[in-house]
Amino acid sequence: MSSGQVNKTLVKLIFQESVANYTVLDVGCGTGALSFIVAEKVQEVIGIDISKEAIAEAGKRSTGNTSFFVADADTADYTVLGEFDMIVSHLCMSDRIIENSGRALPKDGVFAFACFHAKHLIEGGRRSRFSYTEAEMRQVLGENGFTVEYLEVESKEFPFKDLAEAVEIIGGKNIRRWQNDGRLQSLENNISRGGRSLTKSILVGKARKK
């Protein structure tokens, strides 16, 4: 499967490890975009997501070494799902996910992730509640027994001509939230002041359990 849907740096960080015999947990796996990439080189991948629809879609494409379960990544006990050498997460992040991963991984276990950076789509006037600065991420990882081995921000500016193009960049399914929480109005104000670009900013990292 192509890694076009998934952050390329994250894929590279995962496969820097000797993963052939790994069992990997994909947290917030969605329809399995990252899971199926990882499954090409590891022994087993288990994916969890709170969306029944996403898990059903992933299950339709499941291979011999992949399995998918409906579970809330914030509240689930990962140890019930098995023993893991690595936990991965693509654009699904919270303090609880980091805490749960710290509890589930053995010494030298790897946590590899890509999440929203604090400046992601900041033109909406406020941070996503799922975003982190580098300093915040280092602190939470350290508090949960991890040593950071890689942590970098990847940012790109996306130009647009008008509000319709901006909405397309943001993603139509997100606009209702932007309308409800005031971000769409902030974006319109930004456009009225001459703003014609959106920032997509991703924090990519790898940490190892002490």
Give the CATH number, domain containing residue 129.
3.40.50.150
Residue 53 is assigned to a structural domain of this protein: yes
* Mean pLDDT computed over 94-120: 98
Q: What does the block give as tokens for 114?
A: 């890509």
Residue 55 has pLDDT above 50, yes or no: yes
Query: For the chain, how many structural domains are there in total?
Result: 2
Per-residue pLDDT, averaged over 83-92, amounts to 98
- The reported pLDDT for the residue numbered 5 is 84
* pLDDT tops 60 at residue 4: no
**Could you list the residue range(s) of the whole structural domain that residue 27 is in?**
8-157+200-209
What pTM was estimated for this model as a whole?
A: 0.92
Q: Tokens for 116?
A: 């929203």
**Which of 201, 111, 191 lies closest to 157, judged by CA?**
201
Q: How much is the average pLDDT of 86-109?
A: 98
Q: Does 35 share its domain with 127?
A: yes
Specify the pLDDT at position 171: 85
In a domain, 143, yes or no: yes
pLDDT, mean of residues 189-210: 96
Claim to verify: residue 109 and residue 168 sit in the same structural domain: no
Whether 182 and 140 map to the same domain: the answer is: no
Mark whether 114 and 19 lie in a shared domain: yes
Backbone angles phi, psi at 64, to 5 degrees: -65, -25
Residue 73 exposed, middle or buried by CB count within 10 Å (0-12, 13-18, 19+):
buried
Query: Are both 166 and 106 inside the same structural domain?
Result: no
Distances (CA, A) of 204 to 67, 138, 207: 25, 12, 10
Residue 177 vs residue 19, higher pLDDT: 19
Mean pLDDT of the chain: 95
Q: How confident is the model at residue 173 (pLDDT cuts 50, 70, 90)?
A: confident
HSE-CB at 123 with a 13 A cutoff on CA atoms is 26
Contact in structure between 151 and 205 (CB atoms under 8 Å): yes
| pLDDT at position 1 | 35
